[in-house]
């Protein structure tokens, strides 16, 4: 009997199985992106053996996709042991990286042997000057281009990821061309988030709203993405936080997802992690809270607003920006209004909101 991905996701949601785990191996990094959301602490980071224990505990709880991220995961001294540990357990391996350390052919050949399911690499512009300005390291673009050449020559699947900022918004067509040159798809992220400890300064890099409307409409017209409202009235949940997703930071602390830094437990302190996640080890306030918010947000926060179905709403960001996980915060409203306007533009409908006016008044990021 075959089973579709959406049935699998639904079941995982109902049974609270953390099927996708993001492991932040280290907060050390070889780049210095000014907007980076990481918030390192003065604590000892987990070593290889400890990460292998974490893998066993996650697998027992039903995890089957492991994303290694950071910081820069390739900087962790036990990266290879951990990545091999993922594959030896038959788990799906994904890696998020800035790619710089893959400008090394031998390393890329070793990496290809792990048969990673996907490798998401950040590309911050089509020109060295733009990319390097955002990463803070001169030469990072050239190393990345070398890495992409190595990866494509050994047939490793890569998805390029570009967070859209004020600094790179004018060269996105060329960013597409970089992807085409190597045969890799580029995905764009229109949301710049606060840091994990609540610093809002990365938001100052967010792209212009007028630009984003035109960009999204153009992407839809060129068949590069779809754009339709989420049926927020009928949705069971806003996202899988605390149910189907789990994140572990370099100190072993477990969080309900990459964005929400409310601690669930420490993975090394709970032998039966599955029991914690499924509530058999007693009540867990964090899990109870985030699950309740994820269930309620579509109707309580999004449905009352015309742009709600289009908004990229993250309750963790809402809490960081306003202190209230249910608040329809500035950047979420902007994301909704931008997509609503792009949607109307593609359909040739006149906007009931003149984007200039409404975005500038009530949709401003906090």
Interface residue list for ligand SF4 (CB under 6 A): 29, 31-33, 36, 38, 70-72, 98, 135
Helix (H, G, I), strand (E, B), or coil: what is residue 120? Answer: strand
Q: Check the CA dihedral 228-234-239-240 and report its sign.
A: negative
- Tokens, residue 343: 């949607």
Site string for ligand SAM, 83-112 (x = CB under 6 A): -------------xxx--------------
> Exactly one of 13, 37, 80, 117 binds ligand SAM (CB under 6 A); which one?
37
Given ligand SAM, ligand SF4, none, residue 328, with its beta carbon under 5 to 8 Å by kind, binds: none
Nearer to ligand SAM, 56 or 142 (CB): 142
| Nearest-angstrom CA–CA distance, 17 and 85 | 21
The helix (H) or strand (E) run that includes residue 232 is none
Nearer to ligand SAM, 70 or 242 (CB): 70
Q: Which of residues 146-165 bind ligand SAM (CB under 6 A)?
A: 161, 163
Instruction: Give the shortest CB-125-to-ligand SF4 separation in angstroms.
Output: 13
Given ligand SF4, ligand SAM, none, residue 202, with its beta carbon under 5 to 8 Å by kind, binds: ligand SAM
- 72 contacts ligand SAM (rule: CB under 6 A): yes
Given ligand SAM, ligand SF4, none, residue 318, with its beta carbon under 5 to 8 Å by kind, binds: none
The residue among 104, 106, 147, 107 whose CA lies nearest residue 123 is: 147
- Tokens, residue 84: 């091999």
Structural contact between residues 10 and 56, judged by C-beta atoms closer than 8 angstroms: no
Name every residue whose Cβ is closer than 8 Å to that of residue 141 and which is 6 or more positions away in sequence. Answer: 125, 127, 128, 131, 132, 135
Q: Which of residues 174-213 bind ligand SAM (CB under 6 A)?
A: 189, 192-193, 202
Side-chain half-sphere CA neighbours of 128 within 13 A: 10
Nearer to ligand SAM, 34 or 352 (CB): 34
Structural contact between residues 168 and 134, judged by C-beta atoms closer than 8 angstroms: yes
Instruction: Give the shortest CB-99-to-ligand SF4 separation in angstroms.
Output: 9
Residue 310 DSSP symbol: G
Q: Which residues bind ligand SAM (CB under 6 A)?
A: 29, 35-38, 69-70, 72, 96-98, 122, 161, 163, 189, 192-193, 202
């Amino acid at each position: 009997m075959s089973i579709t991905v959406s049935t699998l996701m639904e079941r995982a949601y109902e049974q609270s199985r953390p099927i996708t785990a993001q492991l932040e191996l280290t907060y050390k990094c070889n780049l210095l992106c000014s907007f980076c959301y990481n918030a390192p602490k003065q604590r000892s980071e987990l070593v290889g053996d400890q990460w292998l224990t974490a893998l066993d505990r996650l697998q027992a709880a039903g995890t089957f996709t492991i994303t290694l991220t950071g910081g820069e995961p390739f900087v962790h001294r036990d990266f290879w042991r951990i990545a091999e540990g993922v594959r030896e357990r038959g788990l799906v391996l994904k890696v998020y990286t800035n790619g710089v350390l893959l400008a090394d052919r031998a390393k890329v050949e070793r990496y290809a042997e792990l048969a990673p399911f996907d490798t998401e690499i950040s590309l911050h512009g089509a020109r060295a000057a733009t990319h390097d300005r955002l990463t803070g390291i001169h030469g990072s673009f050239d190393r990345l281009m070398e890495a992409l050449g190595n990866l494509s020559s050994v047939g490793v699947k890569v998805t390029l990821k570009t967070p859209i900022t004020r600094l790179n918004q004018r060269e996105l067509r060329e960013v597409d061309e970089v992807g085409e040159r190597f045969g890799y798809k580029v995905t764009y992220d229109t949301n710049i988030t606060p840091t994990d400890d609540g610093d809002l300064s990365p938001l100052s890099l967010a792209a212009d709203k007028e630009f984003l409307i035109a960009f999204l409409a153009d992407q839809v017209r060129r068949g590069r993405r779809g754009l339709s409202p989420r049926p927020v009235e009928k949705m069971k949940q806003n996202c899988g936080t605390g149910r189907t997703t789990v994140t572990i930071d370099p100190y072993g602390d477990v969080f309900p997802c990459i964005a929400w830094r409310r601690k669930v437990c420490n993975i090394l302190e709970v032998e039966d992690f599955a029991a914690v996640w499924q509530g058999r080890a007693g009540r867990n306030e964090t899990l109870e809270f985030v699950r309740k918010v994820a269930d309620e947000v579509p109707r309580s926060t999004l449905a009352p607003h015309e742009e709600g179905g289009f908004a990229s709403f993250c309750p963790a960001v809402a809490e960081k920006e306003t202190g209230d996980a249910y608040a329809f915060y500035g950047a979420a409203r902007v994301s909704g209004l931008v997509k609503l306007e792009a949607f109307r533009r593609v359909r040739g409908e006149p906007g009931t909101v003149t984007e200039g006016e409404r975005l500038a008044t009530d949709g401003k990021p906090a």
